[in-house]
Amino acid sequence: MEKILSLVRRCVEDYDMIQAGDRVAVGVSGGKDSLVTLAALAKLAKFYPKPFTVEAITLDLGAADGQAPADFGALREYCEKLEVPFTLLHTEISHIIFDLRREKNPCSMCAKMRRGALNNALVERGIRKIALGHHFDDAVETFFLSLFYEGRISCFQPVTELTRTGITQIRPLLYCGEGMVRGAAKRHNLPVVKNPCPADGYTKRQEVKELVVELEKQYPGLKERVFGAMQRLPLTAWEPVEHRRRPYAEEKE
C-alpha cells in the first residue's frame, strides 16, 4: 500500500485536492477502487501537513427482482478497523431501473440516480468534498469512450466543482493503474463486495476496456502517452499545479 499511498499523495498535491480542515467523504461502493481510495486517504490523513478527516458513505442500491441483496457487514467492520465513520444509505435504485423502468441501457440512468442520492446525503450532512475511486485506467478508457461515442476530446476532471450543490469531487487514485489497485486489494484482503448489477461486464465501457488492452499489446506505453497528452493539451482542469509529474501506473507497489 506504500506505493499507492505515495502516488495518491502526489496526485492530491498536483491538483491541490485537499485543504486544511476538509471533511472528506469517500464514496465506497464496496468495489476494489473505492476501498483502496478509502484505505489510502485514511492513512494519508494521519500525517498529511494539511489536517483533514475521512469518512465513508455507501449507497445500497437495493435489489432488483431475482437479485440477492448486497451484504455490507464486512465493509462496516473494515471502517471500524480504520477508525473511519461509516454511513450506509438504503435506496431502491436497482428496483426502479430494472423492474419498474426496465431500462435497456441502464448505466447512464443509474449513474445519475446514484449521484443525486449521494449528493443529497452529503448536503444533509454538511459535507462539501467527496473522493471517488476513479483510477488511471478509468481516465484513459473514459477519454476513448468520449472520442468513440460522442466525438469529443473529453474526460472527467481530477477536481470537479459542482456549483449547484457546492460539493467538490476529487479523484486521488488517478495516478494508480488498475493492476496496482487490484493487487493491493488482494494482498490486504480488503472486503470487496461483489457488484450485483445485471449489466456488469456488458457495457460500452467494458468493450473499450478490452480494446485498450489489445491496443496496449500492440503499442506498449499507449495508456501512459494518452494520459500524458490529457495533461499536456491540457483538457479542462487536467494540467497539474506543478506540470512535472507523471503517473507510474504500471509500477509494482
- pLDDT for 253 equals 42
d(CA 162, CA 173): 20
Q: What are phi and psi of 162, to 5 degrees?
A: -95, 95
Q: Is the pLDDT of residue 184 over 50?
A: yes
- Residue 27 CA to residue 33 CA, distance in Å, equals 10
**In percent, how much of the chain has pLDDT > 90?**
65
List the grid coordinates of 95. 428496483
Q: What is the C-alpha separation between 130 and 237, in angstroms, rounded? A: 17
- Nearest-angstrom CA–CA distance, 162 and 127: 13
Q: Is 221 left (phi over 0), alpha (psi -120 to 50) or beta?
A: left
Mean pLDDT of 171-184: 96
The answer to whether 28 and 85 have CB atoms below 8 angstroms apart is no
Contacts of 21 (CB under 8 A, 6+ apart): 51, 52
Q: Determine the pLDDT at residue 252.
A: 42
Q: Are 172 and 132 in contact (CB under 8 A)?
A: no
Residue 242 has pLDDT above 70, yes or no: no
If you average pLDDT over residues 42-66, what whole number do you get? Answer: 91
Question: How far is it, in rounded angstroms, from Cα 109 to Cα 55?
Answer: 26
- What is the reported pLDDT for 100? 81
Check residue 112 and give its pLDDT: 85
Residue 178 has pLDDT above 90, yes or no: yes
Tell me which of 79 and 245 has the higher pLDDT.
Answer: 79
pLDDT in tens, 88-121: 988 888 878 877 877 777 777 888 888 888 999 9
DSSP sequence for 128-173 = -EEE----HHHHHHHHHHHHHHH-------SEEEETTTTEEEE-TT
- Among 17-31, 84-98, 159-173, 179-193, the least confident range: 84-98
Relative to beta strand 167-170, strand 159-162 is antiparallel
Distance between CA atoms of residues 250 and 253, nearest Å: 9
